[in-house]
């Protein structure tokens, strides 16, 4: 992937931020799943928010605590017998991989985040029987644009983070 070649050259904080934004684009899926099955979605949202704090404050020891909480949020697709549960799994697992990257700076975790995004998109194609090419192209285009926005920032502070998070939500991965 073109984005991986560009991203690997960046500082770990930029890569971590990029991955958090990617995981956050999957959150609406988890939110819809939670609403459908009357489950709380706030824990995942809080974990994502806390992950930004950990990344920018470099409190990497707190990552393990967040990962423990995430394991309980991963939906069992067999228990729910619903493809939305499969998509929701992608949402939570992408956050786990992002946290792994933040704590260990292992670029393989970044690839796994991308795989979870692609998997969530593939589920749309399987379920709806539609061509997912447009969704993939839109996602790849946004990834490249987002990386440019990140690297163009002179200062990566909480204000610029909030602004990018707000824009990023407009590029959320669709739900089945």
Per-residue pLDDT tens for 4-53?
A: 999 999 999 999 999 999 999 999 999 999 999 999 999 999 999 999 99
CATH 3.40.50.720 fits 2-164, yes or no: no
Q: At what angle do helices 42-57 and 63-71 cross, to 10 degrees?
A: 160
In contact, 143 and 117? CB cutoff 8 Å:
no
Domains of the chain by residue range: 2-164
The pLDDT score that the predictor gives to residue 87 is: 96
Per-residue pLDDT tens for 102-155?
A: 999 999 999 999 999 999 999 998 888 778 999 999 999 999 999 999 988 877
- Is the pTM value of this prediction over 0.85? yes
Q: What are phi and psi of 39, to 5 degrees?
A: -115, 155
């Amino acid at each position: 992937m073109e984005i991986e070649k560009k991203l690997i050259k960046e500082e770990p904080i930029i890569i971590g931020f990029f991955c958090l934004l990617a995981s956050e684009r999957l959150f609406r899926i988890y939110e819809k799943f939670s609403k459908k099955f009357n489950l709380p979605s706030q824990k995942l949202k809080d974990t994502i928010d806390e992950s930004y704090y950990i990344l920018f404050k470099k409190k990497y020891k707190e990552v393990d605590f967040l990962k423990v909480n995430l394991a309980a949020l991963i939906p069992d697709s067999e228990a729910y017998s619903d493809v939305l549960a499969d998509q929701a799994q992608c949402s939570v697992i992408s956050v786990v991989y992002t946290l792994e990257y933040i704590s260990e700076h292992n670029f393989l975790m970044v690839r796994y985040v991308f795989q979870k995004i692609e998997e969530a998109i593939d589920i749309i194609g399987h379920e709806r029987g539609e061509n997912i090419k447009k969704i993939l192209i839109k996602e790849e285009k946004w990834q490249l644009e987002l990386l440019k926005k990140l690297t163009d920032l002179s200062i990566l502070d909480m204000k610029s983070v909030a602004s990018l998070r707000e824009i990023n939500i407009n590029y959320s991965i669709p739900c089945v």
